[in-house]
């Protein structure tokens, strides 16, 4: 299989490494707005670097992987669709519903596949949680607690382009809540704090956020995120039902210390960040994409799934700004 990868930054260079090692990938050509960055990644992997995106699309390709900065996603998705190529794209498609819908229309009209990079769907813990809910082992769910805590904030320049904490970060939690529970979010009530470095206030963003989501069966979900968690990288989900409760992401690397005198050993070395914590999930999602391109497996996360998660994030942003609950079906 011949794959073209666009965007060789943090996540793109990681994806490039996964693809370069994949037994089904015969050739990999990469491009980046910064041609020297693409050349560096290609050189390290024995891949080919195209001088720009147009040159990449001139190659004979079977599929495209898009890991550029968010602002370029929608246009590159449409370009791949126009070329008749299946595409994998990092989240999000775009930062608003109209931009997302335009890209999805291009894909639908071309009849191509688009897989979105919600890698938590491939994490062993979240998969086990989904199975536990489906099996009935937990009984009727009453409460779900989802949390994403980054150890340190991204560069200040990233914030104004990120879409804010709900669209950039909590969107992963919104997607995985839908996927694990199999339910839709109907209403949200969200707030945030811009305490900490001035860069959050200057970007109109928040450094910590909390959302209360109501699912269509009445289950209540809290989803929290912060950019500054001194203890380490912490991504977790707890699901509590009438029969049992379980946790995803609770192990000896969870940066959480019990202060009870009888507690056992303190946590071990915390996860350093998403690339370490979710490395197997990133590999599995690209393996699923290869199988999708080969026609061997269905699409595990299409564009409509990404649109659904974005609408929840948009509703949270509206709720935060207007300081009132917001219905997800009012987002268009
Ligand atoms: N799924 C996840 O866990 C996850 C994690 C990190 C980032 N992301 C997403 O991946 C994307 C990239 O994030 P990152 O952290 O790697 O950013 P980054 O800034 O490290 O890299 C982005 C790269 O895209 C390149 N670029 C920008 N515009 C381009 C264009 N028009 N054509 C080609 N290249 C272009 C930049 O030069 C840069 O090298 C973002 O959309 C982000 O939301 C997802």
User: What is the structure's pLDDT at 267?
Assistant: 81
**Residue 286 domain flag:** no
Tokens standing for residue 251: 């192990």
Distance 294 CA to ligand 1 centre (A): 26
Looking at the structure, tell me whether residues 9 and 95 fall in a common domain.
yes
Looking at the structure, tell me whether residues 323 and 185 fall in a common domain.
yes
Looking at the structure, tell me whether residues 8 and 152 fall in a common domain.
no
Looking at the structure, tell me whether residues 8 and 100 fall in a common domain.
yes
Q: What is the pLDDT along the chain (332 residues), one digit of tens a residue?
A: 999 999 999 999 999 999 999 999 999 999 999 999 999 999 999 999 999 999 999 999 999 999 999 999 999 999 999 999 999 999 999 999 999 999 999 999 999 999 999 999 999 999 999 999 999 999 999 999 999 999 999 999 989 989 999 999 999 999 999 999 999 999 999 999 999 899 999 999 999 999 999 999 999 999 999 999 999 999 999 999 999 999 999 999 999 999 998 887 778 899 999 999 999 999 999 999 999 999 999 999 999 999 999 999 999 999 999 999 999 999 98
Looking at the structure, tell me whether residues 78 and 24 fall in a common domain.
yes
**Structural contact between residues 28 and 3, judged by C-beta atoms closer than 8 angstroms:** yes
User: What is the structure's pLDDT at 75?
Assistant: 97
| Domain end among 112, 131, 156 | 112
Q: Which of 9, 80, 163 gets mutated to test ligand 1 (max ligand atoms within 8 A of its CB)?
A: 9
Distance 68 CA to ligand 1 centre (A): 4
Looking at the structure, tell me whether residues 250 and 160 fall in a common domain.
yes
| Domain end among 57, 90, 112 | 112
Atom number in ligand 1 closest to CA 12: 16
Distance 158 CA to ligand 1 centre (A): 10
**Residue 282 domain flag:** no
Binding site membership of 72 for ligand 1 (Cβ less than 6 Å): yes
Tokens standing for residue 27: 């050739």
Looking at the structure, tell me whether residues 77 and 130 fall in a common domain.
no
| Domain end among 112, 141, 157 | 112
**Residue 34 domain flag:** yes
Q: Which of 69, 161, 305 gets mutated to test ligand 1 (max ligand atoms within 8 A of its CB)?
A: 69
Q: Which helix (H) or strand (E) is 241 found in, with range?
A: strand 234-241
Looking at the structure, tell me whether residues 150 and 260 fall in a common domain.
yes
**Structural contact between residues 310 and 172, judged by C-beta atoms closer than 8 angstroms:** no
Q: Supply the range of the domain harboring residue 53.
A: 2-112
Rounded to whole angstroms, what are the CA distances from 90 to 49, 139, 141, 282, 303? 20, 34, 30, 11, 11
User: What is the structure's pLDDT at 265?
Assistant: 78
Q: Which residue's alpha carbon is nearest to atom 14 within ligand 1?
A: 10
Distance 119 CA to ligand 1 centre (A): 15
Residue 311 CA to residue 292 CA, distance in Å, equals: 26
Atom number in ligand 1 closest to CA 13: 16
Which CATH number fits the domain that encloses residue 134?
Answer: 3.30.360.10
Nearest residue to 132 (alpha-carbon basis) of 285, 247, 3: 247
Binding site membership of 91 for ligand 1 (Cβ less than 6 Å): yes
Q: Which residue's alpha carbon is nearest to atom 3 within ligand 1?
A: 274
Looking at the structure, tell me whether residues 137 and 105 fall in a common domain.
no
Q: How many domains, the chain?
A: 2
Looking at the structure, tell me whether residues 99 and 130 fall in a common domain.
no
Which CATH number fits the domain that encloses residue 59?
Answer: 3.40.50.720
Query: 199: which residues sit within 8 A by CB, 6+ positions away?
Result: 153, 156, 159
Looking at the structure, tell me whether residues 108 and 125 fall in a common domain.
no
How many Cβ atoms are within 10 Å of 275's Cβ, its own excluded? Answer: 14
**Residue 279 domain flag:** no
Looking at the structure, tell me whether residues 174 and 228 fall in a common domain.
yes
- The DSSP code sequence of 137-181 is TT-SEEEEEEEEE-SSPPPGGGHHHHTHHIIIIIHHHHHHHHHHH
Atom number in ligand 1 closest to CA 31: 33
**Residue 84 domain flag:** yes
User: What is the structure's pLDDT at 196?
Assistant: 87
**Residue 288 domain flag:** no
Tokens 């370069």, located at residue = 20
């Amino acid at each position: 299989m011949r794959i073209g990868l666009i965007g060789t930054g943090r996540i793109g260079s990681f994806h490039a490494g996964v693809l370069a090692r994949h037994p089904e990938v015969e050739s990999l050509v990469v491009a980046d707005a910064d041609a020297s960055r693409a050349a560096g990644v290609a050189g390290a992997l024995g891949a080919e670097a195209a001088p720009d995106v147009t040159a990449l699309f001139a190659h004979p390709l079977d599929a495209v992987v898009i890991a550029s900065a968010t602002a370029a996603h929608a246009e590159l998705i449409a370009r791949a669709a126009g070329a008749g190529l299946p595409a994998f794209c990092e989240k999000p498609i775009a930062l608003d519903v109209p931009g997302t819908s335009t890209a999805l229309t291009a894909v639908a009209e071309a009849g191509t596949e688009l897989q979105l990079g919600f890698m938590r769907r491939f994490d062993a813990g979240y998969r086990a949680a989904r199975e536990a809910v489906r099996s009935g082992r937990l009984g009727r769910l009453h409460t779900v607690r989802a949390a994403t805590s980054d150890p340190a904030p991204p560069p200040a320049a990233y914030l104004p382009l990120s879409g804010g904490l709900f669209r950039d970060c909590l969107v992963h939690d919104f997607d995985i809540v839908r996927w694990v529970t199999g339910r839709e979010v109907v209403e949200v009530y969200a707030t945030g704090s811009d305490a900490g470095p001035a860069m959050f206030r200057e970007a109109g963003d928040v450094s910590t956020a909390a959302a209360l989501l109501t699912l269509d069966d009445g289950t209540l979900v809290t989803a929290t995120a912060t950019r500054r968690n001194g203890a380490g990288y912490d991504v977790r989900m707890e699901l509590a039902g009438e029969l049992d409760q379980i946790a995803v992401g609770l192990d000896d690397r969870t940066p959480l210390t019990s202060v009870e005198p009888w507690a056992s050993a303190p946590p071990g070395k915390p996860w350093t960040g998403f690339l370490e914590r979710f490395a197997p999930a990133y590999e599995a999602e690209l393996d699923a994409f290869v199988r999708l391109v080969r026609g061997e497996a269905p699409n595990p996360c299409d564009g409509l799934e990404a649109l659904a998660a974005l609408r929840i994030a948009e509703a949270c942003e509206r709720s935060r700004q207007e300081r009132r609950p917001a219905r997800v079906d009012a987002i268009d």
